[in-house]
Amino acid sequence: MVDTNTLYSAVAISLLIMSAGCSGFVGGSGPTEQTAAPTQTPAATPEPTPKATETLTSEPTAEAIESSNPEPIETESDREELTKTEKFAEFDEDMHRMYRITNRSGVLEETETFPENDTYHVTVNMRDTTNRTKIVTDRRDPLLNYYALVANYNENTRGFDEEDHTYIPDTVNVTFVTEDGEMFETRYIKYVWAWKYSTGDWSMTVYAGKYAGTVKKGPGYHEKWK
């Protein structure tokens, strides 16, 4: 038979445990609801974060790049170097220009550049091979025009501010043809001759004498001038 005191004690302990268990569930529901709020707080933070990041990485970054990389100013030295063919083409244009400004373009029958061997060829149509004055003028034109370009290119004068000696063929070969189209004679001019004359190292007599010494008579050559 169970002791009455023992029974009362067991009942009291059971009631105490039940009471404690209920209070634990009731008391535990509070922290559970409170901890739910903090778990939602980090979920709310991603929304402002992208906005802040976008603001910081767009406008200020673009401004910084723009201010640190100003638009470059092109100078003559920055321009792309022309090829030898292109330089000789400009020389050819200027040779035609020299004949035009002296009203002598009519005698310039043909010109041709040869960048691969640094030469330039001029064909001059002689107006009257029986007229000594005209013959002298026709022969003189290539000599003086070549000298003028050599001097102007090297000194950057008369509008030739971009050209230099690299635009000038080393040798100018000249072919003179008669009124009938026959080869009268050929001559040539060297760059160093024109350069020495332009600097005053040589006189016109020496320069022209070098040029005259290169003559080769053609099938149409004669001395029937007056």
Report pTM.
Answer: 0.64
Residue 120 class from Cβ within 10 Å (0-12 exposed, 13-18 middle, 19+ buried)?
buried
Indicate the helix (H) or strand (E) that contains 184. Answer: strand 183-190
- pLDDT tens for each residue of 69-100: 555 454 444 457 899 999 999 999 999 999 99
Token pair in block for residue 45: 């933070």
Q: Where are the domains of the chain?
A: 4-56, 85-217
Percentage of the chain beyond pLDDT 90 is 53
pLDDT score for 159: 57
DSSP-based three-state secondary structure for 202: coil
CA atoms in the 13 A half-sphere facing the CB of 92: 18
- Cα radius of gyration rounded to whole Å, the chain: 50
Average pLDDT, the chain: 76
The mean pLDDT value for 167-184 works out to 96
Backbone angles phi, psi at 97, to 5 degrees: -65, -40
Q: Which of 89, 213, 80, 99 is nearest to 148 (CA)?
A: 99
Whether the predicted pLDDT of 11 surpasses 60: no
Q: Cα–Cα distance between 198 and 148 in angstroms, integer? A: 8
On the question of pLDDT at 150 being above 70, the answer is yes
Does position 50 have pLDDT exceeding 60, yes or no? no
Q: Strands, DSSP E only, in 50-96?
A: none
Q: Is the pLDDT of residue 144 over 50?
A: yes
Q: Which of 145, 142, 161, 218 is CA-nearest to residue 184?
A: 218
**3-state secondary structure at position 49:** helix
Tell me: pLDDT of 203 over 70.
yes
Residue with the bigger pLDDT between 80 and 178: it is 178
Structure confidence at residue 224 (pLDDT): 87
Structure tokens at 55: 């603001």
